[in-house]
Structure formats: C-alpha cells, structure tokens
Homo-oligomer: A and B are copies of this chain.
C-alpha cells in the first residue's frame, strides 16, 4: 500500500483528517526528560482524534526522534531519507526549491523503493511566505508565474504524495487544489496558534490538517483535538 493510500485508509478508519504536529517550546537540558513524558501524555490523550503524527526538530534535537523539510544536495538527501525511513517514518517533507537533479530525485528514489511518501512544501503558513513561495518567477518557457504554482506543478509531475499549503492562506489552498486535483492531497498547517481555521481550509480543498501548539499546549489536548475534528467535518 502506498503512503497516500495508507493516509486515506487511516483517516477513514479514525474518522479524522487531523495530523498532530508534536511540537513543544525549547527546554533547557535539565528539563528535557520531562519532554518525552509530556509528548507521550499528549499522544495518549489525542490519538483517537488524529490520523497521523508529524515530528520536527523540536523532538529530534532533544530526544533524537525525527526531523523534516529536506532541502539539501542529493547525496545528503539520500542519507537523510534512508535514516528516517529506516527509523520507521512513513513520509518526509521536502522543499521543491532544491530542484530535481542531484536534489530531490534521490529522496523520491528511496521513497519509491521502500514504498514511503514524500510531501512537498508548496506554500507555507507564516507571514514571510510571500517572499519566496509567493514571488513571481519565470517558468521554463519564460512566462511569468507564481512560485507556488510552479511548485504545485512539480508536485504533480514528480508524483508527490502530498503538498503542504498553509491554512493561513485559504485562497492559495483553493488555487493550488485546482492544479493538484485529486492526485496530490493538501496537508494544511498553521491552524490555531498561527491563526488559520480548519473549517475554512477544508472548504478550500485541504485534505489533512496539521495542528501543533493548539493541541500540545492546550489545557486539555484531547478536548482540543476532538473540537478540531468536528470543525473539519463541518468544513468538508
């Protein structure tokens, strides 16, 4: 089963399209043991309401668990992919800006061999995203186009298993969804703490919803995750 199919199936079974971003603020070395316990607690409380968990530097660095947004040269990307997939991760997030040849191709090669997924950044959720993702570039034929449009086309062309588009930009979700169609599902971060609304993102075409701080830092993470599920259901 491909990563895409696995996501589809898990989302259906769990009746949830929420992806938990297991992110926590910086901790000093003497407080890092607690981090593992806290992360475990949040997972225990929230797992009925999420279909996947996204790890990031937050947990890798202190706990050596995971990382993402690969944007290195091919030889390095290959090593990164081999390690993550060997560690049991089902998918990696990568930045298409790095290009194909000696760039992301080696990640896709490893992913295909191991039946794992590659999700491409297409439009990020923060304010400065317009600087890079929103800039005007010239396509191969010399015509002016938006960077994120060129990334969305690459996601289709390279056979990506997903595309990241910030929930803080629902109009970009709609436009990118128009390019990706049903081939490449949209993963949408930026919900809650960053100001994006799951319902709006769902209406615009997002399939999965990456939520971090508004669950991990909630007084009642389980309740927060449950609420998110119903917001998404209303949007779809």
Interface residues of A (CB under 8 A from B): 23, 25-26, 28-29, 56-58, 60-62, 64, 67, 69, 71-76, 78-80, 82-84, 86-87, 95-105, 121, 124-132, 135-138, 144, 147, 189-190, 193-194, 213
Whole-angstrom distance between the alpha carbons of A84 and B99 in the complex? 27
Separation of A193 and B74 alpha carbons in the complex (Å): 12
If the complex has contacts A67-B67, A69-B71, A78-B26, are A103 and B83 also in contact, measured as CB distance less than 8 A? Answer: no
Question: CB < 8 Å: which of B74, B79, B138, B147 contacts A58?
Answer: B79
When A97-B97, A98-B132 are in contact, do A79 and B26 touch as well, CB less than 8 Å?
yes
A127 and B102 form a contact (CB under 8 A):
yes
Indicate if the CB atoms of A86 and B56 lie closer than 8 Å.
no
| Chain B residues within an 8 Å CB radius of A64 | 60-61, 64
Which single member of B58, B73, B97 contacts A76 (CB below 8 Å)? B58
Interfacial chain B residues near A101, Cβ < 8 Å? 126-128, 131
Residue contact B128 to A98, C-beta cutoff 8 Å: yes
Residue of B57, B60, B86, B147 near A29 (CB, 8 A) is: B86
* Copies of this chain per assembly: 2
User: A62's contact among B83, B147, B189, by CB below 8 Å, is which?
Assistant: B83
A82 to B95, CA, bound (A): 23
Instruction: Give, as a whole number of angstroms, the nearest-CB distance from A209 to chain B.
Output: 16
A38 shortest CB reach to chain B, Å: 15
B95 engages A71 (CB within 8 Å) = yes
